[in-house]
Copies of this chain bind each other. A is one copy, B any other.
Amino acid sequence: MIIVLKPNVKEERKRQLIDWLKGMNLGVHISNGEFQTVLGLIGDTTQVDIELIDSLDIVDSVKRVTETFKSSNRKFHPEDTVIEVGDVKIGGGNFCLIAGPCSVETEEQIVTVAKAVKAAGANLFRGGAFKPRTSPYDFQGLGARGIELLKIAREETGLPFVTEIMNISDLPLFEDVDVLQVGARNTQNYDLLKELGRIDKPILLKRGLAGTLKELLMSAEYIMSNGNEKVILCERGIRTYSDYMRNTLDISAVPMLHELSHLPVIVDPSHATGMARMVPPMAMAATACGADGIMIEVHNDPIHALCDGAQSMTPEDYTALVKRIKAVREVIA
């Protein structure tokens, strides 16, 4: 950790700070510059509260030299992590296609869509049983019944599935779920993350609504430091002031997360844009810059089907898109 002091700090104040640091068993390397003093801390600085130091009136700025994320850090784990879900591999050069409806509604619906996306080339399917909705007056999902329907669809297709968990107390219902998703509103629900760190199932962890990459990695750290190393990171758009689109897909997160971490990185263009007609170009972009997988909403609902602009694509459009995704994947692989 490097601490830059303000110019003209009194010797006594400087001394107090250095003594306090030394009291934490840290070595302090003092470098007196032309204008300012710089302190270099040597030893285990993970115990040091960087925000406290940064807020001191004699401190100009402070910087960690070593990153605070460890388990997810590529520096300490150079090879890509490959996560296995049944026969499907995610990460390390393996590309996955996840698709399915926003919410599970009926057995017929989820089975039909699961079959359709399998035919199109998907290797996992998805569907929400518990739905986080901004309004308490909106449909909150089928709950336990939804998970039962997902299992029926798995039976019918042989595809493993992903579904979202919102609440620790629901965990027993997820015993036979293949991949547990943590949604964007729960990315920093630390108690939930800790609990998911104690199970042995892949976790698909979405970036927060307005989360930084560092926060996403620190949330992964909550899972991994509790023992579960099977974390899949998911970019799903962030909140900005940009117009015409629900969120701003931060596509550069894909190569940057790959540089910072060994975990697989997938992209969800459906939530990022909120419009089915914008999903194909974003899915193509995500593939072209190296994402390890693409998760897309696909429906078979006649209401949606009547208008091709909804967030969810039709099975036909998805089938066409998968062909193009695979062609791009061939160029870059």
Verify if A7 is at the interface (C-beta below 8 Å from B): yes
Asked if residues B332 and A324 are in contact (CB atoms below 8 Å), the reply is yes
Q: Map CB proximity to B onto A37-50 as digits: 1 under 8 Å, 0 otherwise.
A: 01010110010010
Of the residues B33, B169, B186, contact of A168 by C-beta under 8 Å: B169
Residue of B nearest to A273 (CB): B252
Shortest CB distance A240–B (Å): 5
Of the residues B56, B132, B244, B287, contact of A288 by C-beta under 8 Å: B287
* Neighbouring B residues of A290 by C-beta, 8 Å: 281
Secondary structure at the A interface, as helix, strand, loop or mixed, is: mixed
Considering only CB atoms and an 8 Å cut-off, how many residues of chain A contact the other chain?
114
Asked if residues B310 and A52 are in contact (CB atoms below 8 Å), the reply is yes
Asked if residues A306 and B222 are in contact (CB atoms below 8 Å), the reply is no
Q: Taking the full assembly, how many copies of this chain does it contain?
A: 4
Verify if A254 is at the interface (C-beta below 8 Å from B): yes
Asked if residues A166 and B191 are in contact (CB atoms below 8 Å), the reply is yes
Shortest CB distance A161–B (Å): 22
Asked if residues A275 and B307 are in contact (CB atoms below 8 Å), the reply is no
Verify if A158 is at the interface (C-beta below 8 Å from B): no
* Neighbouring B residues of A194 by C-beta, 8 Å: 136
Q: Map CB proximity to B onto A156-195 as digits: 1 under 8 Å, 0 otherwise.
A: 0000000000111100000000000000011011110010
Among A83-91, A112-120, A145-153, A210-218, the one that faces the other chain is A210-218
Could you say which of A35, A49, A60, A252 has the most chain B C-beta atoms within 10 Å of its C-beta? Answer: A252
CA distance A68 to B138 in the complex (A): 10
Assuming the A-B contacts A42-B33, A212-B243, A290-B281, are A56 and B331 also in contact, with contact meaning beta carbons closer than 8 angstroms in the complex?
no
Verify if A61 is at the interface (C-beta below 8 Å from B): yes
CA distance A54 to B191 in the complex (A): 35
Q: Map CB proximity to B onto A1-18 as digits: 1 under 8 Å, 0 otherwise.
A: 010100100000100110
Asked if residues B251 and A55 are in contact (CB atoms below 8 Å), the reply is no
Of the residues B242, B260, B274, B328, contact of A331 by C-beta under 8 Å: B328
Verify if A255 is at the interface (C-beta below 8 Å from B): yes
Verify if A248 is at the interface (C-beta below 8 Å from B): yes
Residue of B nearest to A29 (CB): B31
Verify if A239 is at the interface (C-beta below 8 Å from B): yes
Asked if residues B289 and A284 are in contact (CB atoms below 8 Å), the reply is yes
Residue of B nearest to A131 (CB): B190
* Neighbouring B residues of A221 by C-beta, 8 Å: 135-137
* Neighbouring B residues of A327 by C-beta, 8 Å: 331
Shortest CB distance A194–B (Å): 7
CA distance A272 to B189 in the complex (A): 20
Of the residues B16, B188, B245, contact of A306 by C-beta under 8 Å: B16
Verify if A200 is at the interface (C-beta below 8 Å from B): no
CA distance A250 to B241 in the complex (A): 11
CA distance A129 to B191 in the complex (A): 14
Could you say which of A55, A310, A324 has the most chain B C-beta atoms within 10 Å of its C-beta? Answer: A55
Known: A59-B309, A328-B332. 14 other contacts (CB 8 A): A13-B307, A49-B138, A55-B274, A57-B277, A60-B65, A136-B226, A185-B190, A214-B244, A242-B253, A248-B252, A249-B252, A284-B289, A288-B289, A328-B328
